[in-house]
Amino acid sequence: MAVRKFGGGGGGSRSTGEPLLGGECDDGARRLIHDGGSSAGVTFARTCFNATNALSGIGVLSMPYALAQGGWSSLVLFLVVILVCCYTGSLIQRCMDADPLTQTYPDIGEVAFGYKGRIAIAILMYLELYLVGVSLLILEGDNLDKLFPNTSLEVATLSIKGKQLFVCVAALIVLPTTWLRDLGVLAYFSVAGVLASAILLASLFWTGVAETGFRAKGKALSLEGLPTALGLYFVCFTSHAVFPTIYASMKDKVRFPRVLLISFAICTLNYGLVAILGYLMYGEDLQSQVTLNLPSGELYSDIAIYATLINPFAKYALTVTPIAMAIEERAALHRKGYTSIVVRTLLLMSTVIIALKIPFFGFIMAFIGSFLSIMVSVILPCLCYLKIFKASIKYGLELLSIIAILVVGVLIAFAGTYSSVRDIIHNL
């Protein structure tokens, strides 16, 4: 592959930050992302926690609903989604390794398709991360409202109550975590997120034993609900937008394939068990978040909801960090601490506004999974890989597999996007 030259003169080098739509930033910003805020880089264990936290979180709540939409047979597709997403994650690493200057997702797009490729990937990537941030706040509002029903706050003539109040409260709590720039420090929040997912699973099992039982039979297959189910399955395993940032922050990058295997294995076990338990407990009566089905006032229900509340707090900062860094580097603000805080605060406020306007968690998650996540995590890695390695890739099983993934990904994206957008418009 030809070596690219960036910048003026003979000594310029391309930015390895994440500019919003392209551009360059200095070496200090590059070192920040590369080392995760530390000169030594992020350790293997912390990287595993960051990757697992990126994959786990809000998707686990929609898994029983997804299974209810698609039926028991859709679990086969669930396993296929896992294999596809893990494989495309490895393709991202291989694309980054092809050029030592490539350390972010927009960089991969530029290597493969030039500046237009950088712009296209940047738009899709940041839009996906932004909407995931919105979904995290919606999730907090829904579950806090269930935990503390009929809560309201009156300030002068202004009255805020229910979900809207708790979305604002959640934003205030999560705000300080968004000011952190060190992925090594964020790993501690990731530990909390991973543990919260395990607690949720245990609480759900406890609820089934103590309250509902596991008697719902469910249905074998629902073709009508299959697009929604696939979209929700994909959104559970499509954190590829942050994989380049996590990979670039590693101290020992050769161990990243092991990070992928560990994080995908943990999340597969957790997601699968939650889906099966929830569907056996509530069957076709499942809501978009399984915690909304839990009986109010019971200890096991409260534990499950509290565990659910931890995940967005642990995940939000990791999700929006690439967006914040992109804005800061584009505006050359990475050396000014106070302006960085302002940027990240305004970014959080904007997600709060959207969360208050479109409070449909299940439909938003289905749209993210069907369109943005499939584009960013399935279709684009395959296209970039084929373009970067077109001179060396051989005709065989891998090439056929990539083409098959592309075709199926496009079909699922079209069907799922149509279904989710229709549902959002219908419920506005």
Residue 100 phi/psi, 5° resolution?
-60, -20
Q: State the pLDDT at residue 428.
A: 61
Encode pLDDT of 128-143 as tens digits.
888 888 888 887 888 7
Q: State the pLDDT at residue 263.
A: 93
Q: State the pLDDT at residue 261.
A: 94
pTM: 0.74
Q: pLDDT below 50 — which residues of the chain?
A: 1-39
Pick the CATH number of 38-427 from 3.40.640.10, 1.20.1740.10, 3.30.70.2740, 3.90.480.20: 1.20.1740.10
Q: State the pLDDT at residue 2.
A: 41
HEC profile of the chain: CCCCCCCCCCCCCCCCCCCCCCCCCCHHHHHHHHHCCCCCCECHHHHHHHHHHHHCCCHHHHHHHHHHHHCCCHHHHHHHHHHHHHHHHHHHHHHHHCCCCCCCHHHHHHHHHHHHHHHHHHHHHHHHHHHHHHHHHHHHHHHHHHHCCCCEEEECCEEEEHHHHHHHHHHHHHHHHHCCCCHHHHHHHHHHHHHHHHHHHHHHHHHHHHHHCCCCCCCCCCCCCHHHHHHHHHHHCCCCCCHHHHHHCECCHHHHHHHHHHHHHHHHHHHHHHHHHHHHHHHHHCCCCHHHHCCCCCHHHHHHHHHHHHHHHHHHHHHHHHHHHHHHHHCCCCCCHHHHHHHHHHHHHHHHHHHHHCCCHHHHHHHHHHHHHHHHHHHHHHHHHHHHCCCCCCCCHHHHHHHHHHHHHHHHHHHHHHHHHHHHHHHC
Q: State the pLDDT at residue 403.
A: 93
Q: State the pLDDT at residue 360.
A: 62
Encode pLDDT of 200-249 as tens digits.
888 888 888 877 778 778 888 888 888 788 878 887 887 888 888 889 88
Residue 377 phi/psi, 5° resolution?
-105, -15
Q: State the pLDDT at residue 363.
A: 64
Q: State the pLDDT at residue 71.
A: 92
User: Domain map of the chain by residue range?
Assistant: 38-427
